[in-house]
A and B are shown apart, each in its own frame.
Chain A
Amino acid sequence: MVGDAISHAVLPGIVIAFLFTGSRDSLPMIIGAGLLGVITTFLIEFFHRYARVQADASIGITFTWLFAIGIILISVFAGQIDLDQDCVLYGEIAYVPLDLWITENNLSYGPRTVWTLGFVTILIVAFIALGYKELFLTAFDPGYAAAIGISTTVWYYLLMTAVSLTTVASFESVGAILVVAFLVGPPATAYLLTDDFKKMLFLSVICGVVAVVIGYYLAYWLDGSIAGAVAAVTGFNFALAFLFSPTHGQFFKRRKAIPV
């Protein structure tokens, strides 16, 4: 759920970055939102640890609060801001090809978002490749990780920065809520299919790609939002894994139970 919280809470960061630079350039927005993402994680931890608010409530309070601030900021500067609530909430990936990156001498490099997303993807892959051992240990055995000298706090915040970066990069295309489906859906599906962490990483990437391809055609067929369709397919994927996974599926669990 921290992903969900971050994706909502980065809104004020985006608005503030927009107010400062006055443009919709991706870089300042990503910086602003990334900062807010880290602040969000920090606030959640702070409320939970120092004020002893129970964990789920501290998540819920933090992100709704920041989101409300974001909306209020948008309304205050409504006249000057070219951001609207619809876009924030569910984005529109279909507009991506319209926003081209054109240099001063009129050379077109194709859609701007593709470049930002490509850059973020490389960054994330590099992050995971370089920090694989640390991330793996922090996730599975924080006690051991701390014992061999890995700072779990640093890696936790690094991971959360990566989460906010991804969220923000996908923001324009899919919006704040559906990005959660992309963050949670494929890993949850993969988690039901395998017990090996590396396999889980690859499987979740495959799940994501499959969902996007099918989702695109579904949206085309229904003439609806692409992001929405992809999220729906992600859910369908999960349902399939939930029911028919060879190791953890409901269907086989029951069948296995009968002979015993």
Chain B
Amino acid sequence: MSDFLEFFSFADANIRYVTLGSVLLASSSAVVGCFTLLRKRALVGDAVAHAVLPGVCLAFILSGTKNPFILLIGAFVTGWISLVTIDYITSRSRIKEDTAIGLVLSVFFGIGILLLTSIQHSGNAAQSGLDKFLFGKAASLVGEDLIVFSAVAVLLLVTTLLFYKELKLLCFDEVYAKSIGFPVRSLELLLTTLTVFAVVVGIQAVGVVLMAAMLITPAAAARFWTERLGVMLVLAALIGAFSGISGAFVSYTAPAMPTGPWIVLIVSMIAIMSFALAPGRGWIARLLRQRRNEARILEENLLKLFYQLGEQQEDYYSNRTLASILERRNIPKKRALRGLKKLKRQGYITRHPEGWALTAEGETRGKRVVRLHRLWELYLTQYLQLASDHVHEDAETIEHIITPELEQKLMEELNYPALDPHQTRIP
């Protein structure tokens, strides 16, 4: 607990640097990541992260200094070239995008490693520390780095805000953007440049491999909670910031722990929880929805059977045994019993010693399902010219879906019919 207080009082300058740096980085790259994710180009960030290495080495060889600014320019140039190469290969040959990404990534990285080892073996004393670019050094951020980080973070955020509308259109409807005269090509380049910027700066904190996660994971997590781009950007930034703080906190309480991997681990956990738990798009929510639908379909089918039996004997409310119901339609006995019990709880049927009987509400609901079924069969035969023995299957599905408005519309279209194509009465 005292650790916790000490950490969040930010009294220690080092803590301040590390935390602020991680937060700035994580949130700004999360915002850029949203756009690359929505353009279905999430892995491009990974390629840039690897392609940065030869640039750093070349800049060092050419300039002979470790001036971070010069190294960043080198990194920026090769990162940018790698993206353009990927685009060129995919658009000009039959190589698929993921192959192109894998190829460019590994070849650029290979060149980088070759140069790096060559520098290391050359015995140049000034070279030590170049490999910071490989693994990151979030735990040893200093004031200078922080200035660069904040500058880039602000730049990224302001650019996204300025071009918000244009980028949004680019992500969701590129063709439309082109047709109303947006400079799509330049916008793409802008987005590429933003991505490279985010990667080049972020890589120093979390390293080559994990940089991809900083771009993709918060964005993917945020995508599950909302359908609006604005909300998604804010959420992604928040998720990024939160994992930045937590990562810094973990590596503060356990000094041997690397900050970067912890940030990624935490952000991945958030993402996986989002995939499972998010309302609407999440996995569990979808499973539940499926279950509910299945249950409803079973109930409606049972009520329909009651109604059809009633129709046959012209007596809707007398008792039916389970066997007589299952005779008309093959439902597993256990499932059918479960459905019947549920219907009883809802008041659609009642239980008697010698079987089950419809209530008035049950009769109305069963009648509606039968009605929709027959209406739809009629519609298919009249408007799609299907043979009357082909329409039953389709009607079985649609009868559970049609809304009252649609029902009204069908009635009007069919001119309030009395008989279905099998010459039975539409109730």
Q: Which residues of B contact A59 (CB under 8 A)?
A: 43
The minimal Cβ–Cβ distance linking B162 to chain A, given in whole angstroms, is: 26
**Nearest CB in chain B to that of A178: its residue:** B110
Contact A47 B275 (CB under 8 A): yes
| B256 at the binding interface (Cβ < 8 Å) | yes
The minimal Cβ–Cβ distance linking B206 to chain A, given in whole angstroms, is: 9
| A69 at the binding interface (Cβ < 8 Å) | yes
The minimal Cβ–Cβ distance linking B287 to chain A, given in whole angstroms, is: 9
Q: Which residues of B contact A180 (CB under 8 A)?
A: 102, 105-106
Q: Which residues of A contact B103 (CB under 8 A)?
A: 181, 184-185, 188, 235, 238
Q: Mark A75-119, 1 if CB is under 8 A from B, else 0.
A: 110100000011001100000000000000000000000000000
Asked if A185 meets B106 with Cβ closer than 8 Å, knowing A65-B268, A72-B262, A242-B89, the reply is: yes
Distance in angstroms between the alpha carbons of A57 and B224 in the assembled complex: 12
CB within 8 A of B98: which of A1, A47, A78, A218?
A1
The prevalent SS among residues of A at the interface is helix
Asked if A177 meets B109 with Cβ closer than 8 Å, knowing A61-B220, A64-B213, the reply is: yes
| B411 at the binding interface (Cβ < 8 Å) | no
Q: Name B41-87 residues within 8 Å CB distance of A.
A: 41-43, 45-46, 50
| B364 at the binding interface (Cβ < 8 Å) | no
**Nearest CB in chain B to that of A61: its residue:** B217
Q: Which residues of B contact A176 (CB under 8 A)?
A: 209
Q: Name B85-101 residues within 8 Å CB distance of A.
A: 89, 92-95, 98-101
Contact B114 A228 (CB under 8 A): yes
- Which of B118, B121, B208 has the largest number of chain A CB atoms within 10 A? B118
Contact A232 B110 (CB under 8 A): yes
Distance in angstroms between the alpha carbons of A25 and B330 in the assembled complex: 59
| B380 at the binding interface (Cβ < 8 Å) | no
CB within 8 A of A235: which of B110, B121, B286?
B110
**Nearest CB in chain B to that of A242: its residue:** B93
CB within 8 A of A51: which of B135, B256, B265, B276?
B276
Contact B106 A224 (CB under 8 A): no
Contact A219 B114 (CB under 8 A): yes
Distance in angstroms between the alpha carbons of A229 and B216 in the assembled complex: 30
Asked if A234 meets B107 with Cβ closer than 8 Å, knowing A8-B209, A56-B41, A250-B92, the reply is: yes
Contact B276 A56 (CB under 8 A): no
The minimal Cβ–Cβ distance linking B216 to chain A, given in whole angstroms, is: 4
| B258 at the binding interface (Cβ < 8 Å) | yes
Contact B102 A184 (CB under 8 A): yes
The minimal Cβ–Cβ distance linking A59 to chain B, given in whole angstroms, is: 7
Contact A235 B258 (CB under 8 A): no
Q: Which residues of A contact B286 (CB under 8 A)?
A: 52
| B388 at the binding interface (Cβ < 8 Å) | no
Distance in angstroms between the alpha carbons of A177 and B258 in the assembled complex: 21
| A24 at the binding interface (Cβ < 8 Å) | no
How many positions in chain A have a CB within 8 Å of any CB in the partner chain? 60
B: interface residue count bin: 35 or more
Asked if A232 meets B111 with Cβ closer than 8 Å, knowing A56-B40, A56-B41, A248-B93, the reply is: yes
CB within 8 A of B283: which of A51, A60, A191?
A51
The minimal Cβ–Cβ distance linking A79 to chain B, given in whole angstroms, is: 9
Q: Name A144-178 residues within 8 Å CB distance of B.
A: 176-178
Contact B102 A183 (CB under 8 A): yes
Distance in angstroms between the alpha carbons of A57 and B271 in the assembled complex: 11
Distance in angstroms between the alpha carbons of A213 and B105 in the assembled complex: 22
Q: Which residues of A contact B258 (CB under 8 A)?
A: 71-72, 75
Q: Name A220-242 residues within 8 Å CB distance of B.
A: 222-225, 227-232, 234-235, 238, 242
Q: Name A1-25 residues within 8 Å CB distance of B.
A: 1, 3-4, 8
| B145 at the binding interface (Cβ < 8 Å) | no
Q: Which residues of A contact B212 (CB under 8 A)?
A: 60, 64
The prevalent SS among residues of B at the interface is helix
**Nearest CB in chain B to that of A55: its residue:** B40
The minimal Cβ–Cβ distance linking B301 to chain A, given in whole angstroms, is: 27
| B261 at the binding interface (Cβ < 8 Å) | yes
The minimal Cβ–Cβ distance linking A118 to chain B, given in whole angstroms, is: 24
CB within 8 A of B131: which of A52, A86, A178, A229?
A86
- Which of B45, B93, B106, B283 has the largest number of chain A CB atoms within 10 A? B106
Q: Which residues of A contact B283 (CB under 8 A)?
A: 50-52
Contact B92 A53 (CB under 8 A): no
CB within 8 A of B114: which of A50, A229, A248?
A229
Distance in angstroms between the alpha carbons of A3 and B135 in the assembled complex: 21
Q: Mark B111-150, 1 if CB is under 8 A from A, else 0.
A: 1111111100110000000010011000000000000000
| B282 at the binding interface (Cβ < 8 Å) | yes
Q: Which residues of B contact A65 (CB under 8 A)?
A: 213, 217, 264-265, 268, 272
Distance in angstroms between the alpha carbons of A61 and B116 in the assembled complex: 28
**Nearest CB in chain A to that of B213: its residue:** A64
| A210 at the binding interface (Cβ < 8 Å) | no
Contact B114 A225 (CB under 8 A): yes
Q: Which residues of B contact A3 (CB under 8 A)?
A: 102
| A214 at the binding interface (Cβ < 8 Å) | no
Contact A231 B98 (CB under 8 A): no
Contact A60 B282 (CB under 8 A): no
The minimal Cβ–Cβ distance linking A177 to chain B, given in whole angstroms, is: 5
Q: Which residues of A contact B45 (CB under 8 A)?
A: 60
For the complex of A and B, 6 pairs with smallest distance between CB atoms: A231-B110, A235-B107, A228-B113, A64-B213, A181-B106, A228-B114
Q: A56-B41, A65-B213, A75-B261 are in contact. List 9 more A-B contacts (CB 8 A).
A: A56-B40, A61-B216, A68-B265, A184-B99, A224-B121, A225-B118, A232-B111, A235-B110, A242-B89
Can you name 6 A-B residue pairings with CB atoms under 8 Å?
A51-B275, A53-B275, A61-B216, A69-B265, A75-B258, A231-B114
Residues of A at the B interface (CB closer than 8 Å) are: 1, 3-4, 8, 47, 50-54, 56-61, 64-65, 67-69, 71-72, 75-76, 78, 85-86, 89-90, 176-181, 183-185, 188, 191-192, 218-219, 222-225, 227-232, 234-235, 238, 242, 248, 250
